[in-house]
């Protein structure tokens, strides 16, 4: 960018491009999954990860930039709740699904990807338009309301994915390592511990999102009246 360009303009351009890339990625994943499902039915659910797993991993890896955005102040959000949301997905996507090939063929992976991408398509559309000062009542309401039924379903699907993965991790020893001094790290036990923490984190995240929804809709309602 040219040094004479105002910092606010540069920030908005960067955020718009970031949100656009994420929107395109998640829209491609969601559309691909829907087309495959209506074309091949349940058979398409088995190889969902093989068809869109790479793009899903790329989008999820890029989303970690949002922590940097919040930390440096170019995106207004709370760091810890966003950290919880992102780590929740990273652990499930990379630690559970990607690392265990037998889990990748489970129906729950397809269901989980549908929920994730449905939320992200709406969220990134809303964020992208907000950067350029454009807002629509239905989109604002949808972005602040859709998560209410879908997010708990995401957590249930994540918990079910962990439950289905445990026998494979226990029998194959994937991600379980032996550390110095004969200390062994058993990944299944870590997953069981995380499974309990998952629902605690869900309560914290749900409470934060609900308060955020209340504030956003209140401000939006005031702006509409002005």
Active site residue 88: no
Tell me how far apart the alpha carbons of residues 18 and 124 are, in angstroms, rounded to a whole number: 9
Tell me how far apart the alpha carbons of residues 144 and 209 are, in angstroms, rounded to a whole number: 8
Active site residue 9: no
Pull the structure tokens for residue 58: 């790329």
Pull the structure tokens for residue 194: 């995380």
- Which position among 19, 88, 158, 194 bears the catalytic label? 158
SS3 assignment, position 186: coil
H or E segment and range at residue 178 = strand 177-179
Which is nearest to 131 in space by CA: 11, 3, 12? 12
Which is nearest to 140 in space by CA: 78, 81, 219, 77? 219
Pull the structure tokens for residue 62: 């890029």
Tell me how far apart the alpha carbons of residues 113 and 117 are, in angstroms, rounded to a whole number: 6
Rg for the chain, CA atoms, rounded: 19
SS3 assignment, position 3: coil
- Which position among 14, 105, 107, 151 bears the catalytic label? 151
Residues 183, 129 contacting (CB under 8 angstroms)? no
- Residues marked active site are found at 151, 158
């Amino acid at each position: 960018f040219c040094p004479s360009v105002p910092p606010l303009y540069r920030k908005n351009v960067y955020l718009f491009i970031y949100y656009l890339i994420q929107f395109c990625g998640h829209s491609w994943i969601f559309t691909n999954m829907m087309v495959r499902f209506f074309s091949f039915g349940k058979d398409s659910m088995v190889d969902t990860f093989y068809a869109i797993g790479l793009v899903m991993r790329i989008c999820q890896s890029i989303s970690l930039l949002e922590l940097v955005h919040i930390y440096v102040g170019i995106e207004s959000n709370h760091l810890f709740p966003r950290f919880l949301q992102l780590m929740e997905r990273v652990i499930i996507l990379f630690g559970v699904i990607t690392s265990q090939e037998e889990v990748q063929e489970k129906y729950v992976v397809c269901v989980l990807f549908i929920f994730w991408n449905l939320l992200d398509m709406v969220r990134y559309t809303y964020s992208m338009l907000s950067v350029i000062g454009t807002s629509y009542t239905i989109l604002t309401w949808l972005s602040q309301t859709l998560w209410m039924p879908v997010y708990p379903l995401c957590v249930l699907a994540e918990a079910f994915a962990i439950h289905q993965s445990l026998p494979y991790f226990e029998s194959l020893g994937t991600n379980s390592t032996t550390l110095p001094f004969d200390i062994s790290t058993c990944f299944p036990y870590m997953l069981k511990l995380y499974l309990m923490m998952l629902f605690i984190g869900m309560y914290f995240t749900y409470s934060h999102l609900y308060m955020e929804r209340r504030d956003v809709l209140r401000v939006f309602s005031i702006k509409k009246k002005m």
